[in-house]
Amino acid sequence: MSATMYQQSEQTGTMEVGTESIRRSAPQALVAKSEPRKQPKTVYRYQRRVLPLEGGRVLLRLNEAPRIALDPTSMECEVIGWDVKMPAHQAENLDQAMARRFLDLFSKSDAGTLDEREQQIWLSVLDQVDGRAFSIDRASPHYLEGTLVRRSPVCHVEWNDGHREKIDQHVAVALSSLNPGDSFGAYVKLGVENKILSIERLYII
């Protein structure tokens, strides 16, 4: 009985050694097919720093060129930190995909509906964009009233709060129908440090 058990044990040991021998002598092609080696992703810079929104009326400015990771195995590219992925042959659509992703996260953040994963992505995106410039571009014009003090050689307006302001020539064109002394109301688009960017929808009052 013990001899039989010993023989079985010897046979088992021989089979294990044989299996190991077969594995070691397997052709390299067979090993490669059964255990494919994953190629590392290639990271490069996407040479775009401005993404148009709302038909270009609002511009999303990036602090630096975004990094794109290309997976050579799946031929899929991903915008790092944005959770935007697409096949490499559709890379010309990255602008639209990034703009949509930003608006999606912005809308959910404004509504307070971001889940935990989206919150992390949103924080990453905010680190990469000029949020202040976006807020200024997106802001609605303010209704203001004032009086045209003079139109040339430099246009000056005195607003109803008593503040007198020089208006850049390309903006002052909107006041070309007024005479000095005319009081008016208008929708005024403000930029950085409340600099007047445009005057529109003019009323004489």
pLDDT digits (tens, 9 = 90+) for 101-146: 999 999 999 999 999 999 999 999 999 999 999 998 889 999 999 9
What pTM does this model have? 0.67
- Fold for 140-204, please state it: OB fold (Dihydrolipoamide Acetyltransferase, E2P) (2.40.50)
**pLDDT tier, 34 (very low <50, low <70, confident <90, very high otherwise):** low
pLDDT attached to residue 35: 56
Judge whether residue 33 has pLDDT over 60.
no
Give me the percent of the chain exceeding a pLDDT of 70: 82
Q: What would the pLDDT profile of 44-90 be if each residue is shown by its tens digit?
A: 998 889 999 988 888 999 999 999 999 998 999 999 999 999 999 99
Per the document, the length of the chain is 205
Locate all alpha helices (DSSP H) within 78-194, ordered by sequence: 94-111, 116-126, 131-138, 169-172
Here the tokens at position 172 are: 């002052």
Here the tokens at position 1 are: 């009985």
Average pLDDT, the chain: 84
Distance between CA atoms of residues 162 and 146, nearest Å: 9
Here the tokens at position 52 are: 């148009």
**pLDDT tier, 23 (very low <50, low <70, confident <90, very high otherwise):** very low
Tell me whether the omega of the peptide bond preceding residue 153 falls within 30 degrees of 0, making it cis: yes
pLDDT attached to residue 161: 93
Cβ neighbour number for residue 99 with a 10 Å cutoff: 17
DSSP SS3 for 89: helix
All structural domains of the chain with their residue ranges: 42-135, 140-204
Distance between CA atoms of residues 204 and 82, nearest Å: 48
